[in-house]
Amino acid sequence: GESVGLHLPTLSVQEGDNSIINCAYSNSASDYFIWYKQESGKGPQFIIDIRSNMDKRQGQRVTVLLNKTVKHLSLQIAATQPGDSAVYFCAEIKGGGGKLIFGQGTELSVKP
Amino acid sequence: GAGVSQSPSNKVTEKGKDVELRCDPISGHTALYWYRQSLGQGLEFLIYFQGNSAPDKSGLPSDRFSAERTGGSVSTLTIQRTQQEDSAVYLCASSFRYQETQYFGPGTRLLVL
């Protein structure tokens, strides 16, 4: 079916380490992918996005990798900080569409 | 600049009552979206508006749910005859254009008793 799912529901890392959050998607027609961060009691906050004509995109301390062959998306956070603790969602938009299809989310916990 | 705003931030209502949730998108954004986030669930699409085009209502769970967008700006999501399963966080997002980055508001937390 159509779904964007996350491999791990929780991820615990040590402050200063790098974090990798993974996401699998099933719809090969999707052409736009976004990572959102959601802190408790707040709405999702845009982190980074990538279009299907790209394999990698970098932001400030974050990198998104897209592997269309295996329909896999990942978010890498460098030098993870306590403020990075949140639930991270990947989302996709199918070609021609506008609505976001979200995964279930991964809770990142950063230990000081 | 100002982000997406939503009101009320919290709403408690009794089963069977109607509720209205409001969304003010980012100024200049032509597309507006509503999503729902239930406890322990991910986010599910409800409806979106793009300019003057007919809205995509494909995600509305029942005919008790409706939404309108007046003047291409503010939107109201209405839930009639609320049920306990309607309890959730209702999130609004907007984007400058269709298929571009969506920015979310803080959400309205609805509790139906």
Given an 8 Å threshold on Cβ–Cβ distance, is B101 in contact with A49?
yes
CATH number, domain with residue A47: 2.60.40.10
Q: Could you list the pLDDT tens digit for every one of the 113 residues in chain B?
A: 589 999 999 999 999 999 999 999 999 999 999 999 987 567 999 999 998 888 999 999 999 999 999 887 999 999 999 999 999 999 999 999 888 899 999 999 999 99
| Digit-coded pLDDT (tens) for A45-54 | 999 999 999 9
Give the H/E segment covering residue A14. Answer: strand A10-14
Other CB atoms within a 10 A radius of the CB of residue A5 amount to: 15
Q: Taking all residues of chain A, what is their mean pLDDT, rounded to a whole number? A: 90
Partner B contacted by A89 (CB < 8 A):
yes
Q: Which has the minimum average pLDDT: A59-73, A77-91, A94-108?
A: A94-108
Chain B's closest residue to A35, CA to CA, is B101
CA distances, A38 to each of A12, B18, B107, B109, B112 (Å): 16, 29, 12, 15, 24
Of residues A83, A69, A71, the one with CA closest to residue A2: A71
Domains and CATH numbers, chain B: 5-112 (2.60.40.10)
pLDDT at A6: 40
The more confident residue out of A29 and B20 is B20
Please name the member of A99, A101, A103 whose beta carbon is closest to the beta carbon of B48. A99
Of residues A86, A91, A76, A71, the one with CA closest to residue A4: A91
Contacts of B34 (CB under 8 A, 6+ apart): B23, B45, B46, B47, B48, B67, B75, B77, B90, B91, B92, B93
pLDDT at B107: 97
The more confident residue out of A93 and B42 is A93
- Bridge partners, residue A44, by sequence: none
Q: Which domain holds residue A19?
A: 4-111
The total number of structural domains that make up chain A: 1
